[in-house]
Amino acid sequence: MANYEFYLASSLEKVFPTKRVFEDKRRDIDLLINDKLNLQLVYNLSEADRKVRNRQFKVNIITSLKYELFDVNLVKCEYLATENHDRFYIDTNPGLYPDLLTENKGYIKPLSNQFKSLWISLYSDSNVKSAYVTIQLEEVLFEDNTGSMINTNKVYFEETLNINIVNQVLPKLPIKHTQWFHTDSIANYHHTKVFSKEHWSLIDKYIEFASKKSDINLLLTPVFTPPLDTDVGGERTTVQLVDVYYKDGKYDFNFDKLQKWCSICKKHGVDSIEVAHLFTQWGAKFTPKIVVYVEDENKEFKLEKKFGWHVSATSNEYKEFLNSFLPSLISAFADFGYSKNNLYFHISDEPHLDHFEDYKNAKNIVNDLLKDCNMIDALSDYSFYEKKLVEIPIPSNDHIEPFVNNVDHLWTYYCIAQGNLVPNRFIGQPSYRNRIMGVLLYLYKIEGFLHWGFNYWESENSRESINPFISTDGNCAFPSGDPFLVYPGPLSSIRNEVQMEAFSDLKLMKLVESKIGREKTVGLIKNGEDYKFSFTDYPKNNKYLIDLRARLINIIK
């Protein structure tokens, strides 16, 4: 006789086929207005009989709250960690790991000797003061020959949650948040012509997801193709929003596509724009790929690659271009609703100390042109900030300490190299390591968070496009989960949902601070725990995070 097991688990658990995770026994849960609760329904079948292949279970969610259901899918992971990793991973061996979330149609089918899970998201709003949520599973049989469905009305599982909606609105994200939006990856994966009608439709969908489902409020914008993640001399698919014309020694610009981009951003609530880097990555020695319509001797405009790896960053030709381009660009952004306060510019990504002079020379070219604009760059050598080469440095979270208490507007990031002790979002890591970031962003007074991969569906240095449903590691170039947060669709991931929980924790902490002050809020966070609450020493368990949220909400009930 078939033996079924069903139970609820926290969203912080990762359900593998062969491992039973802890049950979440909470039945009374507080939410704020505009809040969200994620949980999982875990199911397993043992001692299967011949009839099980015809048996599924209808999922009934009985509640006045809005909800969504997702299947938690296993994805292939070959490269889980770099050689510099710690022991706080779920596993570093290749295998199938839970990550991808796809829409569930209201039915689940347990498989023999496998644990699987259904992801349940519940949403609160101001119209509901409290709500019961009953999760019920009814047996459904399918006939062999006809495929017709027979509901036996037999209930195998039923649990009810009492959701109390606290009369406090969860505020907006209090920091700037960018996950680099790779416009070329969207075109490459979906096999669409860049900026075709289909591409624009997809761009709209992905920007909406980025803003509404990932809390991205600062969007990387390809005014020209971003000079990121290529070999020296290599290039990515051209995605240049600004049409550039060169005639009689002068530049002219058409911003129609940029206007369309900005209107999409405005529509979906993206309040700030991150302009593609003005110089090449890892050194600022060369210029980005910029294609220009150049008038020839026949008075016809022909498209040519005027700038790129073949042009020095400090060439007079590029200086002339920037002197014309940047003032026009800033003016266009203002016309499209983005003032200087909402523009963020880069010089070059991740310069090292041996790039100091090149970075300095590049910065000097644009200093006056970008006056009063925000200047940010990911870098981890404090001397760049100390010598005033960057106004808003973005150190990695494993190099942040020299910047702490010395930088007025501190940001941070993590990526492939941050796999030892510090928080990150790799698929092979436990989810608490992702979610604890909200606590640390608050304690460190971080004002911005950057990550390089919202949807980087390319191999290392963009040598070829990849299928992220098959390769979660960029063809074994990055730890699985590092290069992208969303799958094509767009489809969410456990990592995206847990990161949103981290941001929700941060919002809640700021709300509590507004009620009782920072000192008492910090006391609630630390709560006598025997940790430094640094980026390398923090609670490494799910219970702390679940209890913390309940503790914080209890203060403002």
Least confident of 51-55, 308-312, 527-531: 51-55
Cβ–Cβ < 8 Å for 375, 368? no
- Among residues 177, 165, 245, 184, which one has the least CA distance to residue 214? 177
> Does residue 220 belong to any structural domain of this protein?
no
> Does residue 151 belong to any structural domain of this protein?
yes
pLDDT tens digits for 57-71? 999 999 999 999 999
> Does residue 35 belong to any structural domain of this protein?
yes
pLDDT score at 2:
82
**Count of alpha carbons within 13 angstroms of residue 535, beta-carbon side:** 22
Cβ–Cβ < 8 Å for 65, 71? no
pLDDT tens digits for 313-354? 999 999 999 999 999 999 999 999 999 999 999 999 999 999
pLDDT tens digits for 430-476? 999 999 999 999 999 999 999 999 999 999 999 999 999 999 999 99
Residue with tokens 């207005």: 33
- Among residues 178, 173, 172, which one has the least CA distance to residue 376? 178
Rounded distance, CA 431 to CA 154, Å? 35
DSSP characters over 188-240? HHHT--TTSHHHHHHHHHHHHHHHHHH---EEEE-SS----S--TT-------
Distances (CA, A) of 428 to 284, 338, 425, 434: 34, 39, 8, 11
Cβ–Cβ < 8 Å for 379, 358? no
pLDDT band at 53 (very low <50, low <70, confident <90, very high): confident
Three-state SS string across 295-362, please?
ECCCCCEEEEEEECCCCECCCHHHHHHHHHHHHHHHHHHHHCCCCHHHEEECCCCCCCHHHHHHHHHH
Residue with tokens 């010598």: 387
> Does residue 217 belong to any structural domain of this protein?
no
Angle at 284 between CA 282 and CA 289, to 5 degrees: 100
Q: Which domain holds residue 509?
A: 1-170+489-557
> Does residue 259 belong to any structural domain of this protein?
no
For the chain, how many structural domains are there in total?
1
pLDDT tens digits for 69-90? 999 999 999 999 999 999 999 9
pLDDT tens digits for 520-538? 999 999 999 999 999 999 9
What are the beta bridge partners of residue 3? Answer: 46
Rounded distance, CA 55 to CA 41, Å? 18
Average pLDDT of every residue of the chain: 97
pLDDT at 110 over 80: yes
> Does residue 306 belong to any structural domain of this protein?
no
> Does residue 140 belong to any structural domain of this protein?
yes
The DSSP H or E segment spanning 436 is helix 432-443
pLDDT score at 144:
66
Contact residues for 85 (Cβ-Cβ < 8 A; gap 6+): 92, 419, 420
pLDDT tens digits for 376-412? 999 999 999 999 999 999 999 999 999 999 999 999 9
Structure tokens belonging to residue 92? 């570093």
> Does residue 382 belong to any structural domain of this protein?
no
Rounded distance, CA 377 to CA 395, Å? 8
Structure tokens belonging to residue 24? 């979440």
pLDDT at 363 over 80: yes
pLDDT score at 297:
83
